[in-house]
């Protein structure tokens, strides 16, 4: 073997040994780089939510404004509903009062008819066809008044009450106790606690 061949052989051996010596280091450096890269990615992944939380939300202002407007509309709707309920209750009350006033007015107007029927009954003869007709009409009218809550104010012999009666005559002591009603000149009527017509009475004078 020539000197040149031996030199080339030794050179090749040295290069192989250098490659063998460097390969583990290269692999080790590569693994370290991979681990460092993974660690960096993990750190970035951990920090990402915090970064996102810290970033301003471009829609937050509009969302808050929409919520405030929705609350305002809800309050307005509730107020309108409450006003409508109050309006409906007032209308119901006014309608009920108007209906009651109308009933009282009609009942008061027909009291004269009732008086005339009673007078006609007193003036007709017994067993007369006219009397039967008057009695039937008077009974129907009294039944209607009873259904409407109309009652006669009958307080003969009781203490005079100016809230129910009008004293138009003065009686003597021999007609009854002082201050009591001794005669009813015109009947009085009340409807559901309201006087339709005051009774015209004669009252015994007090000493």
| Cα separation values, 15 from 11, 18, 20, 59, Å | 6, 5, 9, 65
Q: Which of 179, 197, 180 is nearest to 188 (CA)?
A: 197
State the pLDDT at residue 124.
83
Q: How far apart are CA 170 and CA 206, in angstroms?
A: 9
SS3 track for the chain? CCHHHHHHHHHHHHHHHHHHHHHHHHHHHHHHHHHHHHHHHHHHHHHHHHHHHHCCCCCHHHHHHHHHHHHHHHHHHHHHHHHHHHHHHHHHHHHHHHHHHHHHHHHHHCHHHHHHHHHHHHHCCCCCHHHHHHHHHHHHHHHHHHHHCEEEECCCCCECCCCCEEEEEEECHHHCCCCEEEEEEECEEEECCEEEECEEEEEECCC
Listed by start position, the domains of the chain span: 110-148, 150-207
**Structure confidence at residue 116 (pLDDT):** 94
Do 201 and 180 form a contact (C-beta atoms < 8 A)? no
> What's the pLDDT score for residue 201?
95
Say if CB 103 and CB 144 are below 8 A apart: no
What is the reported pTM? 0.57
pLDDT of amino acid 11: 59
Q: Does domain 150-207 have CATH number 2.30.22.10?
A: yes
Per-residue pLDDT of the chain (207 residues; tens, 9 = 90+): 555 565 556 555 545 544 444 444 444 455 556 565 665 555 555 545 555 555 667 788 888 888 888 999 999 999 999 998 998 888 888 888 888 889 999 999 999 999 999 999 988 887 788 888 999 999 999 999 999 999 999 889 999 999 999 999 999 888 889 999 999 999 999 998 899 999 999 999 886
């Amino acid at each position: 073997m020539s000197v040149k061949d031996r030199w080339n052989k030794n050179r090749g051996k040295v290069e192989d040994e250098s490659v063998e010596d460097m390969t583990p280091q290269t692999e080790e450096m590569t693994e370290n780089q991979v681990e460092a890269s993974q660690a960096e990615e993990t750190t970035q992944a951990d920090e990402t939510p915090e970064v996102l939380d810290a970033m301003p939300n471009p829609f937050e202002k509009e969302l808050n404004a929409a919520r405030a407007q929705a609350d305002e509309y809800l309050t307005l709707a509730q107020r309108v509903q409450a006003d409508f309920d109050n309006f409906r209750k007032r209308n119901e009350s006014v309608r009920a009062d108007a209906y009651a006033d109308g009933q009282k007015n009609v009942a008061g107007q027909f009291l004269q008819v009732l008086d005339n029927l009673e007078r006609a009954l007193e003036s007709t003869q017994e067993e007369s066809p006219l009397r039967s007709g008057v009695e039937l009409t008077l009974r129907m009218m009294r039944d209607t008044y009873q259904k409407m809550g109309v009652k006669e104010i009958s307080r003969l012999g009781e203490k005079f009450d100016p809230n129910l009666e009008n004293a138009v005559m003065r009686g003597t002591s021999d007609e009854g106790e002082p201050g009591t009603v001794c005669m009813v000149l015109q009947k009085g009527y009340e409807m559901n606690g309201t006087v339709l017509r005051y009774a015209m009475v004669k009252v015994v004078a007090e000493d």
